Every structure is written in C-alpha cells, then in structure tokens.
Structure 1
Amino acid sequence: MIRADMIAAIGRKYLTSNIENDEYSYPKAFSDASLTFCPIQNSAGRKFERLDIRFVKDNISVLVETKQNFTKADEEQLSAYVEYEKALTGNKIVAILANTKNDNVKVWRGVISDGDFMPKETALRTMREYVDFYTSKINDKEKVMQNTYKLNELLHRHSIPEKLRSQFVGTCLLALKNDLDYSTPTITAAQIRARIKEVLEELLNSDINKAEKLALLNRNVLNGQYVRQLNIAAFREILKFIEDNILPFINDKSTSGQDLLNLFFVTFNKYVGKSDKNQAFTPDHITDFMAKITGVNKHSVVLDPCCGSGSFLVRAMTQALDDCATAAEQETIKRNQIYGIEFDENVYGLATTNMLIHSDGNSNIRQGSCFKLSDWIKEAKPNVILMNPPYNGQRIHLPEHYVKTWTKNKKEDPSKGLYFVKYIADTLNSINQQAKLAVLLPVACAIGTSGEIARLKSEILKENTLDAVFTLPNEIFYPGASASACCMVFKIGTKHKDMTNPDTYFGYCKEDGFKKKKNLGRVEQVDTVTGKSRWVEIEKEWIELYRNRQSVDGFSATHKVDGNDEWLCEAYMKTDYTKLTEQDFQQTINDYLAYLVKEGVMYEP
C-alpha cells in the first residue's frame, strides 16, 4: 500500500507532519517544545530521528513506519519512535509497521513487546478505531455480565459450589487463553485437569511463590472433589461456554479489555451465598477512578493490603503499563511495582489467577494478614495505596493488641475498616515513605464524630493529610454488600496542620451513570445516539473538580476539618435549588415517612 493510501485509510485530518513528505522529525518537535532530544541508535550506530507518518487524536498517537518489506530488525526503529513520542507527549500509542509493496501490517497497542503485539490486526483501521483500542467500544461489558449470569447457572447445574466458581472459571479462562485443547475425541476429564496444571506451572515458572500457589490451586480447584466429579461431557460444556460466550467479548490487548477481564471476576463474585453478602467487591469503574486520582503511572509502586480478587492491582498495572515507552519498563512494573496482600486463602488464589490472566507471571501477592507483613511492606516502599478493607472485620482479621481494646461483647471491628488506614499510614511513616492513599470506607467512617472512629480520625491527621472525600452512589456494591460508601484520599507523611492550604476537597458523586438491572447488578449506561458511555464524561467531571478543587453548588465543596468533624460533602456543600423538582420534594417526604415507620415512631394503617 502506498503512503497516500495509508494516510487516507487512517484519516488525513489527524495527520501531524512537521517536515516535507508528510514525515515527522522528532529533533524538530523536541526543539519546538524546548526539550532536549537524545537520539536513540542501534548497534550499527544508525540514529533514528524521522518517523514516516504520525497521527494524533485526543491523547492517542498512531505511529506508522513504512518499509518495502518489514523485518524483525525494523521493530527496533519503531520502538525508538515510541520512546520519543512518550517523552514528547505522554500520549497512549498505537505503533505500526506497514509494507509499501503489499498490504501487510504489524500492530502494537502500547510498546513494541510480545505482550502488546496484536496478531489479529492484519489491516489498517481508521483513527477512530485506533482510539477505540483504549476505550470500551470494542468490548461489550453488558454482554460479558449477561453471559456470566448464564455461566453461573450452568455451574450450578453441574454442582460446582458458589465459593469455588470464580477460581474454577478463572483457571479455565487462563488455560483457554493459552490454547487449551479440550475437543480431542479421546481426551478425558483427568487429562484436561492435567493440562490446566501444566499451563499454570509454565506461567508461574519465575514466581518465587510458585510452589505455594500451585499447591493452593491444585488443592482448592483442580483436585477438589467438585471438579474431580465433572465428567468429560460436563467439562467440555463449561469450557465451550467460556470460549464461545466470554472470550469473544474481551479484547485483552486494550485497556478496557483488561478491565473487562476484571469485570468478569467482580460480576461473577456477586453471585455468592448469603453468608458472603458482606463482601464488598470493588466495582471496576471505581477502581479506575481511584487509580486516576492517585496518579498511578510508570513510577508508581502500588500496594493493596486487602487485595481481594486483585481488581485494584489489575487496574493499577494496566494504567502504569500504558505510561511506559519500552518493554523493559513494562517488565519492571510487573516484577517490582505491584504488591498485594490477601488474608482469605481462596480469594488469594483468585487474585493470583487474575494477575496471571493479565500477563503478570511474577506477581508480588502474599497470602496472610497485612498486620504481620509490616517488614515486607516497608521493603516494597509503596508510594500509592489503593484499598477496600473489610468493613466488618472479625477478631481473627485484626491484630491482637487492637482487639484487646474492644469491649467483651464486640464481635466486629468498631472502626469499620478505618484501623487499616491507620496501620498502613503508621507503617509508611515509620520509614518516612510518603504516599498517596485512596480507600473505600462505609459512610459511617466519614460521619462518625465519637468513639473509636473519631479517635482514629484524629490520630490519622496527626501525621497525615485528609486530601479529599468523595460520597459515592447508593448501592455501589449492588448486588453484593449493602453498605453506602465513600472514597477517602490521604497524603501519607504530610501533617494535616502543616498544609499551606488545609482545606479538604469534598465531592458529592452520587450519580455515575450506572443503573440497576435485573440479574446483572449496576450496568453502565451508553448514549444510544453517540454510543458514548455516560460514565466516561461523569468521571472526567469528578476528576476535574477535584484537581481544580472547585466548589460547585450541588456537586462539591472545600472545608477545613479535623478528626471531630464530619468528613462528607453533604455537611458543607450548598444546595443548587434551581435543580430541585416537585419529585425531589415528594421523594424526601416518602423517605422520611419510611424512616419513621421503620423506627416505630409511626405505624402503617
């Protein structure tokens, strides 16, 4: 394909050349931006400076290097341009080698690495389609959720227990992604289990905790009595359903596709027994929001001390990888910058599988109590903490010296999870490690002005700053836990009283564009005309108000607070009366009447 046709195919309106022949000179671009240009050269001493074709839309750059017939050696040149582009713009990248003698192309989403290579991309797309590599349009979240519900029913029919389903399906998904053959006529169920084990062994080959993780997965999944009882017909039916109805709707080479894999776990874990309904699995769009407001990038060292299925770790890793310019940077992130701790043994296995699905074969996830791993946390030196601690932690979940302070009849953590924040902050402060910490907590922690919650709030502010609090939508965890939640953001290692501007930002984020849907939980709403997600625009507004620390009636406020105050936007923001309707008034009256009936002050006739 000639260059003119390539430009026409992607979109001339997005072409950004700065020298003749539609080429792009990085030395000139760096000079124009008052930046120092450091040329990259290969082993033969050849410097790479001019890219053949460059396109930009929003924060996405498409880089095309043309050759008569490209070879493996040409990838080095394209990789240099990716590094330049990252240093120049920080944009997300689609990198392409394209032949001029024929229509052959080779495409990477991100850096030039095996992990970012997209083998199914065999023809040029439009710029809009390349932008979609970093959006949700090429994936189908609701379809994944619908099929997860159907898969749950299928597993129920084959007597796979609810607590085992996520781990079992995650393991099957991982094996299918690595070319598991289950259709050979003579294959047995035992042979399928053996092959899945081989896949896990290969993926965990460089993991220092390989033996422990394999033993756990074998014991709880592959060799468990409920999986062993599956006959070959049942095993094939389950594997085929996953292959036909889950994998086709997930493009795991895009950011949104990786999020969808995580959404699969979160959605699946909502269909658990009543005894587990207090599990507050973090919705995927909230993990995305929290990773963004803490500024996760390629320099971040991220810790989740209560990592559950690994949703924060997956999201943080995805965001950090998108910030990379080279495969070496990506590998460093996977090996050295993502840390997690999970107490529950079964959920720990799920987190391990989740990270493996996202191509992290050497994940630094530990099984145990974060309160017994303080030295490990100090050694990691995290500068970003993302967490959703248990709100009803029992005595076994908390350290003994803290449990001894509870009253004799107290069965659950009186701090509702706030003690986890205090512990992590103290651990990092002990080594003078500054960090940004974002945590999901029940609203009770924000409005508590007495007792253990008030004491901990004051203690935390002695050495740390309350940067922001976001009131989140009602039933954010539906249909899992019923708690109303807020997101608190702290600056660890900066005393609240020492801040030049001590005002805390409070966001009233009650509308996220998601709606409850039967059997699916809360579902993202999409504009039927534009095809755009409502959440994308809402999230952008939340983040802009926070970063600019704007007070907007009905949406946000700033206020100076201490440990004795309420930490919630509703206490400080002004009401925007122009947006109130008669329906709002009637709803408030109805809610108040319902409250009076519930409290026994009034009785229904």
Structure 2
Amino acid sequence: MIRADMISTIGRKYLTSNIENDEYSYPKAFSVVSLTFTPIRNSAGRTFEKLDIRFVKDNVTVLIETKQNFTKADEEQLSAYVEYEKALTGNKTVAILANTVNDNVKVWRGVVSDSDLMQKETALRSMDEYVDFYTSKINDKEKVMQNTYKLNEMLHRHSIPEKLRSQFVGTCLLALKNGLDYSTPSLTAAQIRTRIKEVLEELLNSDINKAEKLALLNRNVLGDQYVRQLSIAAFREILKFIEDNILPFINDKSTSGQDLLNLFFVTFNKYVGKSDRNQAFTPDHITDFMAKITGVNKHSVVLDPCCGSGSFLVRAMTQALDDCATATEQENVKKHQIFGIEFDENIYGLATTNMLIHSDGNSNIRQGSCFDLADWIKDAKPNIILMNPPYNGQRIHLPKKYVATWTKNKKEDPSKGLYFVKYIADTLNSINHQAKLAVLLPVACSIGTSGEIARLKREILQENTLDAVFTLPNEIFYPGASASACCMVFKIGTKHNDVSNPDTFFGYCKDDGFKKKKNLGRVEQIDTGTGKSKWVEIEREWIELYRNRRSVDGLSATHKVNGDDEWLCEAYMKTDYTKLTERDFQQTINDYLAYLVKEGHIYEA
C-alpha cells in the first residue's frame, strides 16, 4: 500500500508530520518542548530518529514505519520510536510495520514485543478504531453479561454450587485460553481434569508459591466433589459454552479485553447465596476510575490488601503496562510492582486465576490476613494502595488487639472497614514511606461524627491527609451488596493540617451513566446523540473536576474539614436549582416518608 493510501485509511486530519514528506522528526519534536533527545542505537551502531508516519488523537498515538518488505530486524527500529513517543508525550501507542509493495502489516498494541503483537490485525484501520483498542466496547460487555447469565443457569442445571462457580469457570477459561484440548472422543472427565491441572502447573512454573496455589486449586476446584461428579457430556457442554460464548470476547492484549474479563468475574460473583450478599465486588468502571485518580503508571508499586478476585490489581497492571515503552519495563511491572493479599481461600484462588489469565507473574499475591503481613507490606513499599475492605468484618477478620475493644455483643467491625485504612497508613508511616490510598467505604464512614468511626477519622488525620471524597451512585454493587458507598482518597505520610495542603475536594458522583437491567445488573448506557458510552464522558468530567479542584454547583465542592466533620459532598456543595424538577421534589418527599416509617415515627395505614 502506498503511503498516501495509508494516511487516507487512518485519517489525514490526525497526521502530525513536522518535516517534509509527511515524516516526523523526534529530535525536532524534543527540542520544541525543551527536552533532551537521546538517540537509541541498535547493535550495529545505527541510530533511529525519523518516523515515516505519525497520527495522534486524544492520548493515543499511531506510529507507522514503512518498508518495501519488512523483516524481524525492522522491529528494533519501530521499538525505538515507541520509546521516543513515551518519553515525549506519555501517550498510549499502536505501532505498525507496513509494506509499500503489498498490503501486509504487523501491529502491536503498546510495546513492540511478542506478547503485545496483535496477530489478528492484518489490515490498516481508521484512527477511531485504533483509539478503541484502549477503550471499552459496550456491546461486547452486554454480550458477555448475557452469556454469563446463561452459563450460570447451565452450571445450576449441572449442580455446581454458587460459591464454586466463579473459580470453576475461571479455571476452565484459563485452561482453554492456554490450549486445553477436550474434544478427543475417548477422553474421560477425570482425564480432562488432569489436563487442566497440567496447564496450571505449566503456568505456575516460575511461581515461588506454586505448590500452595496448586494445592488450593486442586482441593477447592478440580478436587471438589461437585466437579468430580460431572459426567463427560456435562463437562464438554460447559467447556464448549465457555469456548464459544465467553473466550471470544476476552482479548487480554487490549484494555477493552481487560475490562471484559474483569466484568466477567464481577458479574459472575454476583450470583452468590444469601449469606454472601454483603460481598461487595468492585465494578470494573470504578476500579478504572480509582486507578486513574491515583495516577497509576509504570513507576507505581500497587497494593490491594483485600484484593478479592483481583480486579484492582488487574486494572492497575493494565494502566501501568500501557505506560511502558519496552518489554523489560512491562516484565518489571508484572513481577515486582503488583501486590495483593486475600483472606478467603476460595477468593484467593480466584485472584490467582484472574492474574494468570492476564499473563501476570502472580507470585506477589498472598493468602492470609493483611494484619499478619506488616513486614511483607513494608518490604513491598507500595506507593499506590487501592482497596475495598469488608464493611462487616467479623472477629476472625481483624487483629485481636482491635477486637478486644469491642463490646461483648458486637458481632461486626464497628469501623465499617475504616480500621483497614488506619492499619495500612500506620504500617507505611512506620517506615516513613509516602503513598496515595484510594478506598471504597460505606457512606456511614463519611457521615460518622461519633463513636469508633469518629475516633479513627481523627487518628488517621494526625499523620495523613484526606485529599478527596467522592459520593458514588446508589446501589453501586447491585445486585450484590446493598451498601451505599463513597471513595476516599488519602495522602499517606502527609499531615492533614500541613499548610501546603489544599482544602479537601468533594465530588457528588451519583450518576455514572449506568442503569439497572434485569438479570444483568447495572449496565453501561449509550448516548443516543453521539453513539458513545455515557460513562466515558462522565468519568472525564469527574477526573477533571478533581484534578483542578473546581467547585461546581450540584457536582463538587472544596472545604477544609477535620476528623469531627462530615466527609461528604452533600454537606458542602451548593444546589444547582436550575436542574431541579417536580419529580425530584416528589422523590425527596417519598424518601423522607420512607425514613419516618422505617424509624417508627409514623405508621402505614
């Protein structure tokens, strides 16, 4: 394909040449922004400085190096341009080798390495499509949710218990992704289980905790009596459905693929028994938002001390990998910068499986209580903490010295999870290590101005800063836990009353563009005017308000607070009366009436 056709296909309006012949000089670009350009040399001493074609839209750059007939050796040149681009703009990249004598192309999402090669990309696309490599596709999400619901019904029909389903399906999905062959007619169900075990052993080969993780997966999944009772026909039916209806939507080489995989786990974990209804698995778009506001990048060391199925860890890893310029940087992120702890054995197995599906060196996920791993946390030295602690932790989940302060009839954590924040902050402060912590907590922690919650709020602010609080939509965990939640952001190791600190930012983030849908939970909505996801624009607004600390009536406020104050936007923002309707008034009256009935102040007739 000739260069003019390449430019036309991707979109000339996105072309960003800065020298003749539509080429792009990185030395010139670096000099314009007063950065020092350091040329990269190959093994023969040759330097690479001028890219053939460059396109930019939003925060995505497409780099094309043209050849008459490219070879493996040309990848080194393209890789150098990716490194320049990351140093110059920090943009996410799509890197392409393209022939001029035919239509052959080779495409990488991000780093030019075997793991980031997009083998199915055999033709050039438009710029909008390349930008989509880094954004979620709502139609695929809905399809996965629908197929997950159908799969749940199938597992119910084959007597797989609810608590086992996520881990069982995750294990099957992992095996299928790595070449499990289950179609041979002579295979028995026992032989399929053996083949799945072999896949797991190979994947965990370099994991220092291999024996422990294999033992858990064998005992809790493959060795479970309900899995062992599956007939060969039932096993094949389940594997076939996963292969045909789940696996095609999961491309772990793209951000949208990562989103879909997390969505699969989160959606599936909503099908739990009544005893587990308070398990609050974090929705994927909220993990994405929290990773962005804490600024996760390739330098971040991320910890989730209550990692559940691993959604925060996967999201943080995705964002960090997108910031990398080389395969070496990516490998370092996977092996040395992602840390997780999970108390529950079964959910720990799910987190392990989730990270393995994402090709992560998952040896830094530990099973146990974060309160017993203080030294491990100190050694990790995380500078970003993302967490969603249990809101109703029982005595077994918390340290004895804290439980000893509870009254005898107290069954659940009176701090509603705030004690986890205090513990992590204290652990890092003990080694004078600064970090940023974003945590999901029930709204009760924000409005609490007395008792255990107020005490912890005051103590946390003695050594740490409350940077921001976001009030999240009602029923954010629907159809799982029913708690109303907020996201608090702390600066660990910076005193709240430090004169350099701005006032705390409060965001009223009640509308995320999601709507409840039967059997599917909360579903992302499309703007009928633009055809794009409403959430994408809403998230952009939330982040812009926070980063610029802007006060907008009905949306946000800034206010100086202490541990005795309410930490909620509703207490400080001004109402935008222009947006109020008669329906809003009626809803408020209804809510107040329901409150009076609930508290016993009035009685229904």
Smaller-chain TM-score bracket: over 0.9
Structure 2 counterpart of 1:74: 74
Structure 1 counterpart of 2:309: 309
Structure 1 counterpart of 2:126: 126
Give 1:108 deviation, angstroms.
Answer: 0.5
SS in 1 for 2:362: coil
Matches of 1:114 and 1:191 in 2, distance apart? 32
Matches of 1:393 and 1:451 in 2, distance apart? 17
Deviations 1:497-552, CA, capped at 9 Å, x for gaps:
11424411111111110001111111110123432100010011111111111111
What's the % identity of the aligned pairs?
90
Structure 2 counterpart of 1:246: 246
SS in 1 for 2:237: helix
Give 1:599 deviation, angstroms.
Answer: 2.2
Give 1:222 deviation, angstroms.
Answer: 1.0
SS in 2 for 1:134: coil
Deviations 1:451-475, CA, capped at 9 Å, x for gaps:
1111000000000000000111111
Matches of 1:360 and 1:517 in 2, distance apart? 33
Structure 2 counterpart of 1:327: 327
Matches of 1:165 and 1:334 in 2, distance apart? 27
Matches of 2:131 and 2:489 in 1, distance apart? 31
Structure 1 counterpart of 2:101: 101
Give 1:24 deviation, angstroms.
Answer: 1.1
SS in 1 for 2:413: coil
Give 1:98 deviation, angstroms.
Answer: 1.1
Deviations 1:295-331, CA, capped at 9 Å, x for gaps:
0000100000000000000000000000011110000
Matches of 1:67 and 1:203 in 2, distance apart? 37
Contact 1:395/1:403 (<8 A) preserved:
yes
SS in 2 for 1:527: coil
TM-aligned CA distance change 1:114 to 1:347, over 3 Å: same
SS in 1 for 2:271: coil
Give 1:254 deviation, angstroms.
Answer: 1.4
Deviations 1:559-602, CA, capped at 9 Å, x for gaps:
11111111111111111111111111111111111222222222
Q: Moved runs in structure 1, 4+ residues, more than 6 A?
A: none
Matches of 1:602 and 1:349 in 2, distance apart? 49
Alignment of 1:58-457 (within 5 A): 58-137=58-137, 140-457=140-457
Structure 2 counterpart of 1:462: 462
Matches of 1:115 and 1:530 in 2, distance apart? 34
Contact 1:148/1:264 (<8 A) preserved:
yes
Matches of 2:14 and 2:553 in 1, distance apart? 38
Matches of 1:9 and 1:596 in 2, distance apart? 63
Structure 1 position 42 matched with structure 2 position 26? no
SS in 2 for 1:278: coil
Structure 2 counterpart of 1:515: 515
TM-score, structure 1 as length reference:
0.99
Contact 1:465/1:490 (<8 A) preserved:
yes
Contact 1:471/1:568 (<8 A) preserved:
yes
Contact 1:270/1:479 (<8 A) preserved:
yes
Structure 1 position 527 matched with structure 2 position 522? no
Matches of 1:590 and 1:423 in 2, distance apart? 40
Contact 2:53/2:65 (<8 A) preserved:
yes
Structure 1 counterpart of 2:559: 559
Give 1:139 deviation, angstroms.
Answer: 6.0
SS in 2 for 1:140: helix
Give 1:74 deviation, angstroms.
Answer: 1.1
Greater Cα shift, 118-127 or 3-12? 3-12
- Residue segments in structure 1 that go unaligned for 5+ positions in a row: none
SS in 2 for 1:97: strand
Give 1:46 deviation, angstroms.
Answer: 0.7
Give 1:440 deviation, angstroms.
Answer: 0.4
The one-letter amino acid paired with 2:538 is I
Matches of 1:46 and 1:487 in 2, distance apart? 50
Matches of 1:198 and 1:506 in 2, distance apart? 51
- Residue segments in structure 2 that go unaligned for 5+ positions in a row: none
Contact 2:182/2:236 (<8 A) preserved:
yes
Structure 2 counterpart of 1:546: 546
The one-letter amino acid paired with 2:594 is A
Matches of 1:280 and 1:505 in 2, distance apart? 25
The one-letter amino acid paired with 1:90 is G
Between Structure 1 and Structure 2, how many residues are aligned?
605
Matches of 1:330 and 1:427 in 2, distance apart? 28
Contact 1:98/1:106 (<8 A) preserved:
yes
SS in 1 for 2:116: coil
Matches of 1:544 and 1:17 in 2, distance apart? 29
Give 1:59 deviation, angstroms.
Answer: 1.1
Contact 1:139/1:250 (<8 A) preserved:
no
Structure 1 counterpart of 2:598: 598
Matches of 2:119 and 2:327 in 1, distance apart? 17
Give 1:138 deviation, angstroms.
Answer: 8.0
Matches of 2:193 and 2:361 in 1, distance apart? 20
SS in 2 for 1:121: coil
The one-letter amino acid paired with 2:284 is D
Deviations 1:34-90, CA, capped at 9 Å, x for gaps:
111000011110111111111111111111111122111111111000000111111
TM-aligned CA distance change 1:469 to 1:211, over 3 Å: same
Matches of 1:120 and 1:50 in 2, distance apart? 28
